Amino acid sequence: MVISNYSGRLVKYLFTCVIFLLVAAPCYADLTLVTSSDFIRVYDSNDNQTRNMITELEIAGFRNYPFFSTNTTVPGRACYLSKDTLTVENFEDSCLSKVSGSEDYNWVIIIKFDTENFLSVLNTIYKDLPLVKSVIFSYEGTPHIPSPAPDKTSPEIISFGRGIDIREINLSKYSFPRSDEYFIEHSHKYTEFCEVMNPSFKFYLIAIAIWGLITVFHILWTWILRKDYSKHLQKILLFIPVFFAGYTLIDYVFFLSCPWDTKNGVQYLQIIQIALVTIFNTLFVGLCCFISKGWAIVRNSFTREELSSITMIVGIFYLVYSAYFIASDISSLRVIITVVLIIMYLWVALTCLKNSIANIRTLNSHISGTGPDEVILDSLKLKKSIMVHFCIITLLFYLNKIIHSALKTFLKENSTVRNVIIINLFLELLIISYFLLIFRARKWPEYFSLDIFYQRIGNGENDQAVPKSIILSAVVSSQWINQPGNRDYGNKDIMVNGEEVEYLGNEQYKEPQVAVLVDASDKENHKLLKLLRDEENLSDDEEI
């Protein structure tokens, strides 16, 4: 199989992109600046020197209480309550009355979790049971945990353990009222590495300033300096630098708020982050699909089937991205959703590349059939150049996304996390700046706004250009064509609404407007197109 020159260059670009992104891959390690872990350990005595540990279990800590950001250990006795409610009476009956000198011990309560009684249990401990220093809630399934009042100072540790895990180590065996021989140590460990981000804040401010300048420059360039040459695509592109400026600012404030577990309102920053990322990626995927189909470059309209397929891709992508954030706190689900997300990225990238290469082939076909002196040649070459650069941007952007998503999920935190964030910050800046540069408003060559005509072949799965000719098009009113003086303009290479006709007046056209396409390789047809434009006062925006 012979690879054309443009295909060879794309292969080289692909190889360069892969090497570049693999070198930059460490920059995508997952960022963990705050860690916490809760443990419950069972010992055979209360003597720290001679005691032996019998069993231990790692459980989940509860973030929304005052002591979460401190390291705390509660040694004492365990009281296992079979009910999901806690009162002074059932605590005394089940535990205090079973041991002499019970007031000399701290108590760890293990109780079934119930959403309705959760706050009631904490309030009872706070008001009536000062001996209870920590509580472990045993749950089945996924608990829905309400937030307690922020001024509660007891118990010192609140943890959640899966019922199956608690039963597996047989924790009730080592607790009152079944046994009085064992001692419990309930620990909460909290560690934060927020200081590692401090040197990166100046780079965040630089990135925010650059994105702000890019946004302002894009507005000035598109709406003032190149207003007459700005089309819908150039105006739509404003959402890209606006998003990155806003998201980088939110990211900066978010890291500045570390440790997040001790700050109020940080959850709203997370909601904004998730909303921005989901909306932007969905819109950007849709934009890439449209551009890969040639929108605003090769053609300006799509069939219903094409619009439906793009809508389906965008909809699926939105659902997968939403599921990704919902499952981000559940490690097993997060891995599955990440794999699905990577497949989606790969699917979108391959779809965009396939469509773009088809457009490049179409343009090559037209260029090869155009003479060196044809006025449309510069337009065709610019269209091809833009589509080739779009292929490179697609490779960079989606390889970036794929590697980022994979490594963020499967790699653990490393000591270079600060440098990693900075590299990623400016890598995105370079890729998007490249994108905006290629699709900027400029003085377009003559006939740039005209469509490249497509002919449906086979079963409709592929499109290819009409061979050996360049097709120019215009939308005109059927009323003008149906006038007797205008219907007899003879030409064998005219197509009206996709059907070849020998002259314009071979039938009456009932539609308000019809698409007239003529062979641009014939100089006489330029005269016809000019005639149609002059009679109808057509502007570039009315061409298809």
Neighbours of 156 (CB within 10 A): 19
Residues 361, 368: Cα–Cα separation, whole Å:
10
Q: Burial of 436 by CB count in 10 Å (0-12 exposed, 13-18 middle, 19+ buried)?
A: middle
Positive/negative CA dihedral, 505, 507, 510, 511 = negative
496-533 pLDDT tens trace: 444 544 444 444 444 444 455 555 445 555 555 555 55
Q: Give the tens place of pLDDT for each residue, 40-97.
A: 999 988 888 888 999 999 898 887 777 777 888 999 888 888 777 788 888 888 887 7
The CA angle 330-333-338, to the nearest 5 degrees, is: 115
What is the DSSP-derived secondary structure letter of residue 225?
I
Instruction: Give the strand order in the sheet containing 513-519.
Output: 471-477, 513-519, 490-496, 499-503
Q: Which domains does the chain have, with CATH numbers?
A: 34-192 (3.50.30), 194-438 (1.20.1070), 469-542 (no CATH)
**Tens-place pLDDT, residues 372-387:** 777 888 999 999 999 9
pLDDT band at 448 (very low <50, low <70, confident <90, very high): confident
Looking at the DSSP bridge assignments, the partners of residue 186 are 40, 74
Is residue 245 predicted with pLDDT exceeding 80? yes
Given a cut of 70, whether residue 18 has pLDDT beyond it is: no
Is 73 strand, coil or helix?
A: strand
Classify residue 146 by its DSSP letter. P
Report CA torsion sign: 224, 225, 228, 234: negative
- How many angstroms separate the CA atoms of 14 and 357, rounded? 14
Residue whose entry in the numeric block shows the structure tokens 């833009």: 386
**Residue 291 pLDDT > 90:** yes
**Range of lowest pLDDT (202-206, 403-407, 435-439):** 403-407
How far CA 64 is from CA of 34, 40, 59, 67, 137, in Å, comes to 14, 20, 16, 9, 15
Q: Is the pLDDT of residue 417 over 70?
A: no
pTM of the model as a whole: 0.66
Helix, strand or coil, per DSSP, at residue 226 = coil
